[in-house]
Structure 1
């Protein structure tokens, strides 16, 4: 079956024909291609067409698909059993490696998704402080747990409201615009005694890539310290991509709790939350805050994640960042030569090219970008074998597997786009 036939069949079996809303490609007025294989920097669809990948499973495949060391580790692990529901060596080894690279995670717990990680971190912050309210930022996406589905970014931005979430659940969710420190101060001045935590993407990745303004993250750190609240960095996207120690190493800010996902599973479903020992010891069975998971610490995911982190310590992050800068600068120049307004946000190996003549610093500005222009760009790039996120408010990612030839093919495809 080809992609069109598979999508038609899928729509009879799954809502919208997909298992995650954005994959339906409605934002770009298209239909999805169904992927059959991936290796290195490339994807192949069921018809055998090859694409240069800039989505990389939404970020985790920083080494490229089927990195030999990661694949070998996963195969060895699965030969020993796919799931135990019991402690295993791999979860200890991966936790030790994470602690070495992100020292603020003195203790941690493995889970099976980023949503589980953020949901559990919020519960822990509330249990630790004895408070109910928390602050999140408009356009920051922390998974699909009910409390977070208030002004969420990413695919949630395409859904009108959040039916199924009682108002009482989000009544404790305090909202602020990303990069607006004054709004955060106002919340603390009004409700400081009942604010358990701030949760933030240190670099927002779900309204496109939006970088923290000068002093913003330090301001959040200072406010949490002043009011006795917990600062949670959601590094599901930024962890091990912005640097070996994530965004907190790059920006020099230490959170109380961190959530991870994506890269620490080497492409397998995984999540993790952790931080200060005194906070983490409130989790059962040591403390009274409950969380559990049958597949937590899955041996295959742990092995793949450990192999990924080991490999990343051999990689040249600075070189990839420089190559990504060169690629994106040239992409912007090509668009501007065509008379198309664009604005670029970039950090390390992640970037978003917004179709706007203004800088993008928050969700309001992201929402004002030209979605029609992005859809035109996406459709024509896909037709030329360039696989981009099917929405203009997502990040693009480069990897250590991309070659200079891949980048040149990408630029050549961009030169042929017509608006």
Structure 2
């Protein structure tokens, strides 16, 4: 069933570390060999062995309209025929920036980059430059890319300066990162007690990198209040939730506004792109207008801009899409929970717009430690058995899932039916 993928993986391991260009793709969390994908079409992926999968990953979020959407594909081909990259300004950058700025009350200007990691790294540098402070607060389980100051692990205290969580990251680069528990107001307050040099809080308002774990409204209000009180900036990392949780991302369903927003995924419709955005006052500090330096040769790549522009315009012209996606996401997780309960298996589920998550545990996780108490072995077995039946879920309990417009209720019902069969053997 996976013979060609196994051989392809073995060959890849000879020339690519671990055989993959991003660790999660290696299936280390669930075991086994990842299927090597040949193509995607609509709601489906097809691997080199000829297997077909209903795709609940959708390139980790950006493909709201599924694979090979004809409108986005047309925009990409048209733009690519004019050149793949110029290293010079194009009108496409301005048009996409205008579309984004128009949606939000708290941002006036956007700077495009080539990845979510770049976006969050640059947003933090901007916050430090604007405030003249050095420390940052991040939360266990929130992933903001692999830049050095963000690769930290928890210490032994309630709230502690992070130690490097990866070789190659000097302790000097993480000593300014304070780490505390997601959704804990008490620990957040302790961070500000420990340091008077905090430049910003960076947070996924809807965490998608410890499964789907939304921040509580109380917690986000505390983030806003403490930033205002201590002269720090609040950064919402919406690389995953932006234009996914709603047309305005998490910002569109919350009553808390951030000072800086970071985007990725959807604004490139599958192309490598990211962005960070803020008010005129904050963005005026950015080079070449201000003194805070940030640059990127491929930033604002015309093909990526064309893809993102087409995708965002389709979403703005058809806002009812979000209701449809939300209903489908809820249909899926409610169905999974029902068959799990039927088979005597504890399962916690959650959705935010077209994002969804499920955990094999008794209690709904509120933070990274809670997620760590889930039954990872059961998740791994479920993942593999569902893969065999043609359903491609995220290959880690720590990842969220996504619905695209091409996934039908019939597809979802078929998934739930097969999940029922699989769960009978998970007791």
Shift in Å, 1:256: 0.5
Conserved? CA contact 1:209–1:351, under 8 Å: yes
Within 5 Å, which residues of 2 pair with 1:213-292? 213-292=216-295
1:363 paired with 2:365, answer: no
Alignment match of 2:191 (pick from 182, 187, 190)? 187
Kept in 2: contact 1:139–1:151 (CA 8 A): no
Residue 390 of structure 1, aligned match among 376, 389, 395 = 395
Matches within 5 A, 1:53-68: 53-68=55-70
Unpaired stretches in structure 2, ≥5 consecutive residues = 155-163
Aligned: 1:20 with 2:25:
no
CA contact (8 A) 1:3 1:34 kept: yes
**TM-score normalised by the chain length of structure 2:** 0.94
Partner Cα separation in structure 2 for residue 102 and residue 406 of structure 1: 34
Give the structure-1-normalised TM-score. 0.96
Name 1:155's counterpart in structure 2: none
Unaligned runs of 5+ in 1: 153-159
* 1:214 CA drift (Å): 3.3
1:7 aligns with 2:12: no
- Cα distance in 1 between the residues matched to 2:271 and 2:325: 23
Pairing 1:17-416 to 2, within 5 Å after superposition:
17-151=19-153, 161-192=165-196, 194-313=197-316, 314-316=318-320, 317-416=322-421
> What is the distance in 2 between the residues matched to 1:205 and 1:46?
29
- Offset at 1:319? 2.3
Contact 2:261 2:277 in 1 (8 A): yes
Report the Cα distance in structure 2 between the residues aligned to 1:380 and 1:151, rounded to whole angstroms.
Answer: 33
2:121 is paired with a residue whose SS is helix
Alignment deviations for residues 346-377 of structure 1 (CA, whole Å, 9 cap, x no partner): 21111111010111000000011111000110
CA deviation string 1:185-227 (max 9, x = no partner): 11112313x1000000001110111011231111111111111
The answer as to whether partners of 2:139 and 2:181 remain within 8 angstroms in 1 is yes
Give the deviation of 1:315 after TM superposition: 4.1
How many Å separate the matches in 2 of 1:408 and 1:358? 25
Question: Are the counterparts in 2 of residues 105 and 275 from structure 1 also a CA contact under 8 Å?
Answer: yes
Instruction: Say which SS state the counterpart of residue 412 (structure 1) adopts.
Output: helix
Residues 120, 262 of structure 2: 8 Å contact kept: yes
Structure 2 Cα separation of the partners of residues 326 and 303 of structure 1: 33
2-side partners of 1:238 and 1:30: how far apart? 29
Question: CA contact under 8 A between 2:80 and 2:303: conserved in structure 1?
Answer: yes
- Partners of 1:73 and 1:2 in 2: CA distance: 33
The 2-side partners of 1:322 and 1:7 are apart by 37
Give 1:30 deviation, angstroms: 1.1
1:91 touches 1:302 (CA, 8 Å); kept in 2? Answer: yes
CA–CA distance in 1 between the matches of 2:226 and 2:69? 42
Count of matched residue positions in the alignment of Structure 1 and Structure 2: 411
The whole-number CA distance in structure 2 between the counterparts of 1:373 and 1:339 is 13
* Contact 1:102/1:246 (8 A) holds in 2: no
Return the alpha-carbon distance in structure 2 between the equivalents of residues 393 and 214 of structure 1. Answer: 22
For the 8 Å contact 2:247–2:319, the answer to whether it is kept is no
